[in-house]
Each structure stands twice: as structure tokens, then as C-alpha cells.
Amino acid sequence: MNKSKSKFIGIFGGTFDPVHKGHTEIIKNLFELIPLDKVIVIPNGIPPHKPVSVSSEERLRMVTSAFKDVDKVVIDNREIRKKDTSYAISTLKELIEENVDHSLVWIMGSDAFSEIDSWYQWQDFIKMVNIIVMVRPNHEIPFDSEAYKLLSKSHTIDKESLNSGSEKIYLLRIRPIEISSTNIRNKINEGKDVSEFLLEEVNELITKRNLYQ
């Protein structure tokens, strides 16, 4: 293995229904705090946990537009191409095979991590990769959750250690951005202006294509 060419790659999946300024700002903030060479952004095709409001293709179009000017971000459409349920573990296995010479870290919000035990084959998943959990204010991980037990066993405060091995969990306090896709969808449905929450091109796509009406 040629160490000099080894890269440190973040994986950031989500429904992005719709993608908003919070998503892009989180990734910019992440690059400031963690020495990642790139982040692979993966829109879910058919998420197992929640229904989506617009088609996979529309969400991919919005995500591509939102991140096009964010340096070191690559959009990956593998889950959308598959046309079946998007399980994180399947995607992770593929990415590990494709990046044998590189280190991968999975990035998720504390709200998703709090429900990790509802993920398909979650116990196998957490053994395969290091995880960065982005903690927002007022989204602490419940004491009585499986996720909290996991933290007590696998938590690290050494962000350099994320670049090797697996099963380490790093809590990252990010700049608070209180925007939610659910609120945006509700506001659009009520005919309210949401331009302050969305990048201009994403807002134009939503308006032009009558999404979330």
C-alpha cells in the first residue's frame, strides 16, 4: 500500500428532501475541523426509514446544484441508480472495496445516530468504519439509547485516529444551523417564501418544477 497516496474520505448520505443551506454549511464546517481530502455526498434512493416527497432524480438534481461550488465534494448517485431500498451497509461495503488504499469515515447527524439500532445490520455496519457524529445544540444523544451505550464503548477524542482502523466514534460539535427539510417542505406547501434557507439555484429548481406543492 502506497501511504503517500492514501486519502482520508468522508461519506455523507441523506434524503436531502430538499437539500438546504444547513447541509452545505455543515460540510464546509467539517472541512475546517477535520483534515478530509474529500467528501462523497450520497442522496438516498429509497430510504428504509422515511418516505420522500419528490423523486430521486429531482433530489439528485438539487444536490448536484447545491454542492457544485463546494470544493472537494463529489456527488455519488449509486443509491439512486439502484432503484431498491438504500441500506447504508451495502453502500459502505461497495465504497470500502472501491477505496482499498484509502481511509473512510461515515458522517451523520446526532439525530440519525441516536436511532442507529434501527438501521439494517447496524452492528456489522459500526464494526466496518469510523463514524463522525455531528452534534447540534438541543440534539443530544439520549442516555437510555443503544447509541449512548455504543458511545461509552467506542468514543474517541482523537480526531487523528479516525484516519485508520474502524469502530471509533468521534463527536463533532458543529456550528448550529437550525434549518430542517421538514419545515421547508411545510412552508412551501403553505405558499411561504423559503429562499433564506435554500441556495438560489435550488430554490429556482423547486419553484420552476413545482416541487413540494
In sequence order, what are the residues at sequence separation of 6 or more whose Cβ sits closer than 8 angstroms to the Cβ of residue 185?
17, 18, 53, 212
Q: Which of 173, 165, 106 is nearest to 134 (CA)?
A: 173
pLDDT tens readout for residues 45-88: 988 888 899 999 999 999 999 999 999 999 999 999 997 899 99
pLDDT tens readout for residues 85-106: 999 999 999 999 999 999 999 9
- What is the predicted pLDDT for the residue at 51? 85
Cα distance between residue 131 and residue 168, in whole Å: 6
Domains and CATH numbers, the chain: 3-178 (3.40.50.620)
At residue 2 the predicted structure's pLDDT band, cuts being 50, 70 and 90, is very low
**Mean of pLDDT over the chain:** 93
- What is the predicted pLDDT for the residue at 1? 41
